[in-house]
Structure 1
Protein backbone atom coordinates (compact mmCIF):
# COMPACT_ATOMS: atom_id res chain seq x y z
CA UNK A 1 0.00 0.00 0.00
CA UNK A 2 0.86 3.70 0.05
CA UNK A 3 3.97 5.57 1.06
CA UNK A 4 5.20 7.03 4.32
CA UNK A 5 2.72 8.64 6.68
CA UNK A 6 2.92 12.16 7.94
CA UNK A 7 -0.10 12.59 10.16
CA UNK A 8 -0.43 16.13 8.79
CA UNK A 9 -3.82 17.45 7.73
CA UNK A 10 -4.79 20.35 5.45
CA UNK A 11 -1.28 21.72 4.95
CA UNK A 12 -1.69 23.23 1.53
CA UNK A 13 0.69 23.35 -1.38
CA UNK A 14 3.95 22.06 0.11
CA UNK A 15 3.58 18.26 0.13
CA UNK A 16 3.49 15.54 -2.49
CA UNK A 17 1.52 12.32 -2.70
CA UNK A 18 4.59 10.42 -1.43
CA UNK A 19 4.36 12.28 1.90
CA UNK A 20 1.04 10.65 2.85
CA UNK A 21 -0.21 7.15 3.42
CA UNK A 22 -2.56 6.07 0.67
CA UNK A 23 -5.30 3.57 -0.13
CA UNK A 24 -5.72 2.57 -3.78
CA UNK A 25 -9.12 1.16 -4.73
CA UNK A 26 -7.55 -0.78 -7.61
CA UNK A 27 -5.37 -2.62 -5.08
CA UNK A 28 -8.41 -3.31 -2.89
CA UNK A 29 -10.22 -4.74 -5.92
CA UNK A 30 -7.28 -7.01 -6.86
CA UNK A 31 -7.05 -8.27 -3.27
CA UNK A 32 -10.77 -9.07 -3.15
CA UNK A 33 -11.39 -6.46 -0.47
CA UNK A 34 -14.42 -4.96 -2.20
CA UNK A 35 -16.45 -8.14 -1.73
CA UNK A 36 -19.23 -7.44 0.76
CA UNK A 37 -18.43 -8.63 4.27
CA UNK A 38 -14.66 -8.85 3.79
CA UNK A 39 -12.55 -7.23 6.52
CA UNK A 40 -8.78 -6.89 6.57
CA UNK A 41 -6.04 -4.96 8.32
CA UNK A 42 -3.65 -3.09 6.03
CA UNK A 43 -0.22 -1.89 7.15
CA UNK A 44 2.34 0.59 5.85
CA UNK A 45 6.05 0.20 6.48
CA UNK A 46 9.33 1.99 5.98
CA UNK A 47 12.73 0.31 6.18
CA UNK A 48 11.08 -2.93 7.24
CA UNK A 49 9.29 -1.31 10.21
CA UNK A 50 5.51 -0.87 10.40
CA UNK A 51 4.59 2.83 10.46
CA UNK A 52 0.81 2.59 10.43
CA UNK A 53 -2.21 0.33 10.02
CA UNK A 54 -5.89 0.57 9.16
CA UNK A 55 -8.77 -1.88 9.09
CA UNK A 56 -10.91 -1.89 5.94
CA UNK A 57 -14.33 -3.58 5.98
CA UNK A 58 -16.43 -3.80 2.83
CA UNK A 59 -20.19 -3.31 2.82
CA UNK A 60 -22.58 -2.94 -0.14
CA UNK A 61 -21.68 0.31 -1.88
CA UNK A 62 -19.08 1.42 0.65
CA UNK A 63 -16.05 0.54 2.75
CA UNK A 64 -15.61 1.30 6.45
CA UNK A 65 -12.23 2.72 7.51
CA UNK A 66 -11.25 2.08 11.12
CA UNK A 67 -7.95 3.37 12.53
CA UNK A 68 -6.27 5.65 15.06
CA UNK A 69 -4.31 8.84 14.42
CA UNK A 70 -2.58 11.56 16.37
CA UNK A 71 -1.48 15.03 15.35
CA UNK A 72 1.91 16.48 16.30
CA UNK A 73 2.57 13.93 19.02
CA UNK A 74 -0.80 14.40 20.73
CA UNK A 75 -3.15 11.76 22.08
CA UNK A 76 -4.27 8.93 19.81
CA UNK A 77 -7.77 9.52 18.45
CA UNK A 78 -10.01 6.76 17.01
CA UNK A 79 -11.55 7.26 13.58
CA UNK A 80 -14.26 5.14 12.00
CA UNK A 81 -16.31 6.30 9.03
CA UNK A 82 -17.68 5.09 5.67
CA UNK A 83 -16.27 5.90 2.25
CA UNK A 84 -18.89 5.43 -0.44
CA UNK A 85 -18.07 3.81 -3.77
CA UNK A 86 -19.07 4.34 -7.37
CA UNK A 87 -18.50 2.48 -10.63
CA UNK A 88 -18.17 3.46 -14.28
CA UNK A 89 -18.27 1.14 -17.31
CA UNK A 90 -15.02 0.29 -19.09
CA UNK A 91 -14.81 0.57 -22.88
CA UNK A 92 -13.83 -3.09 -23.22
CA UNK A 93 -16.43 -4.37 -20.78
CA UNK A 94 -16.59 -4.67 -17.05
CA UNK A 95 -16.55 -1.75 -14.66
CA UNK A 96 -14.09 0.48 -12.86
CA UNK A 97 -14.42 1.20 -9.15
CA UNK A 98 -13.94 4.59 -7.50
CA UNK A 99 -13.93 6.12 -4.06
CA UNK A 100 -16.15 9.13 -3.46
CA UNK A 101 -13.92 11.45 -1.44
CA UNK A 102 -15.39 11.64 2.10
CA UNK A 103 -14.05 15.13 2.87
CA UNK A 104 -16.83 17.59 3.62
CA UNK A 105 -18.00 19.35 0.47
CA UNK A 106 -15.93 17.22 -1.92
CA UNK A 107 -17.32 13.87 -3.13
CA UNK A 108 -14.89 13.64 -6.07
CA UNK A 109 -14.63 10.29 -7.80
CA UNK A 110 -11.02 9.17 -7.25
CA UNK A 111 -8.94 5.98 -7.29
CA UNK A 112 -6.64 6.91 -4.37
CA UNK A 113 -7.27 8.45 -0.96
CA UNK A 114 -4.52 10.01 1.16
CA UNK A 115 -4.49 10.26 4.97
CA UNK A 116 -3.63 12.20 7.62
CA UNK A 117 -6.39 12.70 10.17
CA UNK A 118 -8.89 11.58 7.54
CA UNK A 119 -8.47 9.92 4.18
CA UNK A 120 -9.30 12.32 1.35
CA UNK A 121 -8.36 12.97 -2.27
CA UNK A 122 -5.17 14.75 -3.26
CA UNK A 123 -7.17 17.79 -4.36
CA UNK A 124 -8.47 18.29 -0.83
CA UNK A 125 -4.94 18.05 0.54
CA UNK A 126 -3.60 20.04 -2.43
CA UNK A 127 -0.92 17.43 -3.00
CA UNK A 128 1.30 17.47 -6.06
CA UNK A 129 2.76 14.39 -7.68
CA UNK A 130 6.52 14.08 -6.97
CA UNK A 131 7.30 14.73 -10.64
CA UNK A 132 5.56 18.12 -10.39
CA UNK A 133 8.06 19.21 -7.74
CA UNK A 134 11.07 18.21 -9.84
CA UNK A 135 13.49 20.72 -11.27
CA UNK A 136 13.90 20.45 -15.07
CA UNK A 137 17.33 18.83 -14.67
CA UNK A 138 15.97 16.22 -12.26
CA UNK A 139 13.10 15.42 -14.62
CA UNK A 140 15.50 14.97 -17.54
CA UNK A 141 17.77 12.74 -15.43
CA UNK A 142 14.80 10.55 -14.50
CA UNK A 143 13.83 10.14 -18.16
CA UNK A 144 17.43 9.37 -19.13
CA UNK A 145 17.61 6.73 -16.40
CA UNK A 146 14.50 5.03 -17.76
CA UNK A 147 16.24 4.65 -21.11
CA UNK A 148 19.48 3.48 -19.48
CA UNK A 149 17.47 0.78 -17.73
CA UNK A 150 15.91 -0.35 -21.02
CA UNK A 151 19.36 -0.56 -22.56
CA UNK A 152 20.89 -2.41 -19.61
CA UNK A 153 23.25 0.43 -18.73
CA UNK A 154 24.26 1.44 -15.24
CA UNK A 155 21.85 4.00 -13.81
CA UNK A 156 22.76 7.65 -13.36
CA UNK A 157 23.87 10.13 -16.00
CA UNK A 158 26.76 11.16 -13.75
CA UNK A 159 28.29 7.75 -14.39
CA UNK A 160 29.22 9.08 -17.82
CA UNK A 161 28.69 7.52 -21.25
CA UNK A 162 28.52 3.75 -21.60
CA UNK A 163 30.40 1.88 -24.34
CA UNK A 164 27.08 2.14 -26.24
CA UNK A 165 26.71 -1.62 -26.68
CA UNK A 166 23.40 -2.56 -28.25
CA UNK A 167 21.37 -5.03 -26.16
CA UNK A 168 21.09 -8.45 -27.71
CA UNK A 169 17.96 -8.81 -29.83
CA UNK A 170 17.24 -5.08 -30.10
CA UNK A 171 16.83 -3.65 -33.59
CA UNK A 172 19.52 -1.17 -34.59
CA UNK A 173 16.92 1.49 -35.42
CA UNK A 174 15.37 1.14 -31.96
CA UNK A 175 18.77 1.34 -30.32
CA UNK A 176 19.73 4.44 -32.30
CA UNK A 177 16.46 6.16 -31.40
CA UNK A 178 16.79 5.38 -27.69
CA UNK A 179 20.43 6.43 -27.63
CA UNK A 180 19.56 9.75 -29.31
CA UNK A 181 16.77 10.41 -26.79
CA UNK A 182 19.04 9.45 -23.91
CA UNK A 183 21.73 11.88 -25.04
CA UNK A 184 19.23 14.73 -25.25
CA UNK A 185 17.88 14.04 -21.75
CA UNK A 186 21.39 13.57 -20.37
CA UNK A 187 22.50 16.90 -21.84
CA UNK A 188 19.57 18.68 -20.18
CA UNK A 189 20.13 16.89 -16.87
CA UNK A 190 23.84 17.71 -16.70
CA UNK A 191 23.24 21.31 -17.72
CA UNK A 192 20.62 21.57 -14.98
CA UNK A 193 22.98 20.10 -12.37
CA UNK A 194 25.76 22.46 -13.42
CA UNK A 195 23.46 25.48 -13.14
CA UNK A 196 21.95 24.34 -9.85
CA UNK A 197 25.28 23.71 -8.12
CA UNK A 198 27.40 26.30 -9.96
CA UNK A 199 30.12 24.18 -11.59
CA UNK A 200 31.47 23.51 -15.06
CA UNK A 201 31.10 20.04 -16.51
CA UNK A 202 34.30 18.05 -17.22
CA UNK A 203 34.65 16.99 -20.84
CA UNK A 204 34.11 13.29 -20.00
CA UNK A 205 30.56 14.10 -18.86
CA UNK A 206 29.57 15.79 -22.10
CA UNK A 207 27.54 13.59 -24.47
Structure 2
Protein backbone atom coordinates (compact mmCIF):
# COMPACT_ATOMS: atom_id res chain seq x y z
CA UNK A 1 0.00 0.00 0.00
CA UNK A 2 1.44 3.33 -1.06
CA UNK A 3 2.09 6.09 1.46
CA UNK A 4 1.27 9.75 1.76
CA UNK A 5 3.39 12.77 2.55
CA UNK A 6 6.03 12.62 -0.18
CA UNK A 7 6.18 15.81 -2.24
CA UNK A 8 3.00 17.28 -0.74
CA UNK A 9 2.15 19.27 2.34
CA UNK A 10 -0.11 17.22 4.61
CA UNK A 11 0.42 19.24 7.77
CA UNK A 12 -2.47 21.10 9.39
CA UNK A 13 -2.40 24.67 8.14
CA UNK A 14 -4.96 27.47 7.96
CA UNK A 15 -3.30 28.56 4.69
CA UNK A 16 -3.47 25.14 2.99
CA UNK A 17 -5.55 24.63 -0.15
CA UNK A 18 -7.67 21.69 -1.22
CA UNK A 19 -5.15 21.03 -4.00
CA UNK A 20 -2.47 20.35 -1.34
CA UNK A 21 -4.30 17.18 -0.26
CA UNK A 22 -5.44 14.00 -1.90
CA UNK A 23 -9.09 13.21 -1.34
CA UNK A 24 -11.82 10.62 -1.82
CA UNK A 25 -15.24 11.49 -3.23
CA UNK A 26 -18.16 9.30 -2.16
CA UNK A 27 -20.21 10.43 -5.17
CA UNK A 28 -17.75 8.76 -7.51
CA UNK A 29 -17.60 5.64 -5.39
CA UNK A 30 -21.38 5.40 -5.37
CA UNK A 31 -21.59 6.03 -9.11
CA UNK A 32 -18.93 3.39 -9.86
CA UNK A 33 -20.52 0.80 -7.55
CA UNK A 34 -17.48 0.65 -5.25
CA UNK A 35 -19.60 0.73 -2.07
CA UNK A 36 -21.25 -2.55 -3.01
CA UNK A 37 -17.90 -4.33 -2.59
CA UNK A 38 -16.55 -5.71 0.69
CA UNK A 39 -13.19 -4.01 0.16
CA UNK A 40 -11.15 -2.35 -2.58
CA UNK A 41 -7.94 -0.38 -3.14
CA UNK A 42 -8.04 3.22 -4.31
CA UNK A 43 -4.98 4.74 -6.01
CA UNK A 44 -3.65 8.08 -7.22
CA UNK A 45 -1.44 8.26 -10.29
CA UNK A 46 0.97 10.78 -11.76
CA UNK A 47 2.29 10.44 -15.32
CA UNK A 48 0.85 6.94 -15.47
CA UNK A 49 2.58 5.76 -12.28
CA UNK A 50 0.90 5.03 -8.96
CA UNK A 51 2.08 7.48 -6.31
CA UNK A 52 -0.24 6.59 -3.40
CA UNK A 53 -3.06 4.24 -2.47
CA UNK A 54 -5.42 3.38 0.33
CA UNK A 55 -7.33 0.26 1.29
CA UNK A 56 -11.07 0.69 1.80
CA UNK A 57 -13.11 -1.81 3.80
CA UNK A 58 -16.88 -1.53 3.36
CA UNK A 59 -19.40 -2.43 6.06
CA UNK A 60 -23.05 -1.59 6.59
CA UNK A 61 -23.38 2.20 6.98
CA UNK A 62 -19.61 2.63 7.38
CA UNK A 63 -16.23 2.28 5.71
CA UNK A 64 -12.71 1.96 7.08
CA UNK A 65 -9.77 3.73 5.43
CA UNK A 66 -6.32 2.23 5.90
CA UNK A 67 -3.12 3.90 4.70
CA UNK A 68 0.31 5.09 5.79
CA UNK A 69 1.45 8.67 6.20
CA UNK A 70 4.91 10.10 6.74
CA UNK A 71 5.20 12.38 9.79
CA UNK A 72 8.43 13.71 11.26
CA UNK A 73 10.39 11.46 8.91
CA UNK A 74 8.65 8.27 10.05
CA UNK A 75 5.86 6.23 8.48
CA UNK A 76 2.73 5.82 10.60
CA UNK A 77 -0.30 3.63 9.99
CA UNK A 78 -3.74 5.22 9.86
CA UNK A 79 -6.81 3.03 10.39
CA UNK A 80 -9.98 5.12 10.61
CA UNK A 81 -13.65 4.17 10.51
CA UNK A 82 -15.98 6.65 8.81
CA UNK A 83 -19.75 6.42 9.20
CA UNK A 84 -21.99 6.80 6.16
CA UNK A 85 -25.35 8.50 5.83
CA UNK A 86 -28.07 8.50 3.17
CA UNK A 87 -30.44 11.21 2.02
CA UNK A 88 -33.32 10.81 -0.41
CA UNK A 89 -33.01 12.34 -3.89
CA UNK A 90 -35.85 14.39 -5.36
CA UNK A 91 -36.19 12.12 -8.39
CA UNK A 92 -35.94 8.88 -6.42
CA UNK A 93 -33.10 6.83 -5.05
CA UNK A 94 -30.68 8.00 -2.38
CA UNK A 95 -27.38 9.78 -2.04
CA UNK A 96 -24.52 8.63 0.18
CA UNK A 97 -22.50 10.92 2.43
CA UNK A 98 -19.43 10.58 4.59
CA UNK A 99 -19.85 11.58 8.23
CA UNK A 100 -16.64 13.42 9.05
CA UNK A 101 -14.95 11.60 11.97
CA UNK A 102 -13.77 14.92 13.42
CA UNK A 103 -16.90 17.11 13.34
CA UNK A 104 -19.73 14.64 12.52
CA UNK A 105 -20.90 16.81 9.61
CA UNK A 106 -21.98 15.28 6.31
CA UNK A 107 -19.44 15.62 3.52
CA UNK A 108 -19.18 14.35 -0.04
CA UNK A 109 -15.38 14.64 0.04
CA UNK A 110 -12.92 13.53 2.71
CA UNK A 111 -9.31 14.72 2.60
CA UNK A 112 -6.48 12.32 3.39
CA UNK A 113 -4.00 13.54 6.00
CA UNK A 114 -2.94 12.54 9.49
CA UNK A 115 -6.63 11.71 9.93
CA UNK A 116 -9.33 11.59 7.25
CA UNK A 117 -11.45 14.72 7.64
CA UNK A 118 -13.60 17.23 5.77
CA UNK A 119 -12.41 20.50 4.26
CA UNK A 120 -13.70 22.60 7.16
CA UNK A 121 -11.84 20.54 9.76
CA UNK A 122 -8.57 20.99 7.85
CA UNK A 123 -9.43 24.67 7.21
CA UNK A 124 -8.72 24.24 3.54
CA UNK A 125 -9.50 26.94 1.02
CA UNK A 126 -10.24 26.31 -2.63
CA UNK A 127 -7.46 27.07 -5.09
CA UNK A 128 -9.72 29.59 -6.86
CA UNK A 129 -9.77 31.70 -3.67
CA UNK A 130 -6.04 32.36 -4.13
CA UNK A 131 -6.29 33.42 -7.76
CA UNK A 132 -5.51 36.92 -8.91
CA UNK A 133 -8.09 38.90 -10.89
CA UNK A 134 -6.32 38.01 -14.14
CA UNK A 135 -6.13 34.31 -13.25
CA UNK A 136 -9.87 34.23 -12.55
CA UNK A 137 -10.62 35.95 -15.86
CA UNK A 138 -8.40 33.53 -17.78
CA UNK A 139 -9.92 30.49 -16.03
CA UNK A 140 -13.45 31.64 -16.96
CA UNK A 141 -12.32 32.44 -20.49
CA UNK A 142 -10.67 29.04 -20.98
CA UNK A 143 -13.88 27.27 -19.90
CA UNK A 144 -15.79 29.14 -22.57
CA UNK A 145 -13.09 28.50 -25.17
CA UNK A 146 -13.30 24.80 -24.30
CA UNK A 147 -17.05 24.87 -24.98
CA UNK A 148 -16.28 26.52 -28.33
CA UNK A 149 -13.63 23.81 -28.93
CA UNK A 150 -10.99 26.50 -29.28
CA UNK A 151 -7.45 26.16 -27.86
CA UNK A 152 -7.01 27.57 -24.37
CA UNK A 153 -5.45 31.02 -23.99
CA UNK A 154 -6.95 34.32 -25.10
CA UNK A 155 -3.85 35.07 -27.21
CA UNK A 156 -4.53 32.04 -29.45
CA UNK A 157 -7.16 33.77 -31.56
CA UNK A 158 -10.52 32.47 -32.74
CA UNK A 159 -11.42 29.26 -34.59
CA UNK A 160 -14.98 29.96 -35.67
CA UNK A 161 -18.22 28.13 -34.91
CA UNK A 162 -17.81 24.43 -34.09
CA UNK A 163 -19.60 22.02 -36.38
CA UNK A 164 -23.02 21.07 -35.04
CA UNK A 165 -23.30 23.96 -32.57
CA UNK A 166 -26.44 26.10 -32.86
CA UNK A 167 -25.83 29.70 -33.92
CA UNK A 168 -27.69 31.00 -30.87
CA UNK A 169 -25.39 29.06 -28.55
CA UNK A 170 -22.32 30.08 -30.51
CA UNK A 171 -23.22 33.78 -30.52
CA UNK A 172 -23.83 33.74 -26.77
CA UNK A 173 -20.51 32.00 -26.03
CA UNK A 174 -18.69 34.20 -28.54
CA UNK A 175 -19.94 37.36 -26.86
CA UNK A 176 -18.92 36.07 -23.41
CA UNK A 177 -15.41 35.17 -24.56
CA UNK A 178 -15.03 38.47 -26.40
CA UNK A 179 -15.95 40.41 -23.26
CA UNK A 180 -13.59 38.38 -21.07
CA UNK A 181 -10.79 38.61 -23.65
CA UNK A 182 -11.08 42.40 -23.78
CA UNK A 183 -11.06 42.58 -19.98
CA UNK A 184 -8.00 40.30 -19.76
CA UNK A 185 -6.13 42.27 -22.42
CA UNK A 186 -6.97 45.57 -20.70
CA UNK A 187 -5.74 44.19 -17.38
CA UNK A 188 -2.49 42.96 -18.94
CA UNK A 189 -1.96 46.32 -20.69
CA UNK A 190 -2.54 48.16 -17.40
CA UNK A 191 -0.08 45.91 -15.56
CA UNK A 192 2.53 46.36 -18.29
CA UNK A 193 2.00 50.13 -18.08
CA UNK A 194 2.71 50.06 -14.35
CA UNK A 195 5.83 47.96 -14.93
CA UNK A 196 7.08 50.34 -17.63
CA UNK A 197 6.52 53.35 -15.37
CA UNK A 198 8.40 51.62 -12.60
CA UNK A 199 11.29 50.85 -14.94
CA UNK A 200 11.36 54.48 -16.12
CA UNK A 201 11.60 55.71 -12.52
CA UNK A 202 14.42 53.25 -11.79
CA UNK A 203 16.26 54.30 -14.96
CA UNK A 204 15.95 58.02 -14.11
CA UNK A 205 17.12 57.37 -10.56
CA UNK A 206 20.19 55.48 -11.80
CA UNK A 207 20.96 58.20 -14.37
CA UNK A 208 20.88 60.92 -11.69
CA UNK A 209 23.26 58.95 -9.48
CA UNK A 210 25.68 58.40 -12.36
CA UNK A 211 25.70 62.08 -13.34
Q: Which residue of structure 2 lines up, in the alignment, with residue 60 of structure 1?
A: 60
Q: Does 1:101 pair with 2:103?
A: no
Give the C-alpha shift of residue 99 in structure 1: 0.3
What stretches of structure 1 move > 6 A for 4+ residues in a row? none
Q: Taking structure 2 as the reference length, what is the TM-score of the superposition?
A: 0.81
- Name stretches of at least 5 consecutive residues in structure 2 with no aligned partner: 197-211
Structure 1 residues 98 and 196: alpha-carbon distance in aligned structure 2, compared to 1, 3 A threshold:
farther
Give the C-alpha shift of residue 199 in structure 1: 5.6
**Paired residue secondary structure (1:51):** strand
Q: Does 1:116 pair with 2:113?
A: yes
2:50 & 2:9 partners in 1: Cα distance?
A: 15
Matches within 5 A, 1:10-29: 10-12=12-14, 14-29=15-30
Q: Which residue of structure 1 lines up, in the alignment, with residue 74 of structure 2?
A: 75
Contact 1:137–1:190, Cα closer than 8 Å, also in 2: no
Q: Which residue of structure 2 lines up, in the alignment, with residue 171 of structure 1?
A: 166
Give the C-alpha shift of residue 77 in structure 1: 0.6
**Paired residue secondary structure (1:76):** strand
Higher mean displacement: 140-149 or 74-83: 140-149
Contact 2:80–2:116, Cα closer than 8 Å, also in 1: no
- Name stretches of at least 5 consecutive residues in structure 1 with no aligned partner: 201-207
Give the C-alpha shift of residue 177 in structure 1: 1.7
- Number of equivalent positions: 190
Contact 2:62–2:81, Cα closer than 8 Å, also in 1: yes
Structure 1 or 2, whichever has the larger Rg, is 2
**Paired residue secondary structure (2:173):** helix
Give the C-alpha shift of residue 194 in structure 1: 4.0
2:163 & 2:29 partners in 1: Cα distance?
A: 39
Contact 1:57–1:64, Cα closer than 8 Å, also in 2: yes
1:61 & 1:107 partners in 2: Cα distance?
A: 14
1:175 & 1:138 partners in 2: Cα distance?
A: 24
Q: Does 1:157 pair with 2:158?
A: no
**Paired residue secondary structure (1:15):** coil
Q: Which has the higher helix share?
A: 2
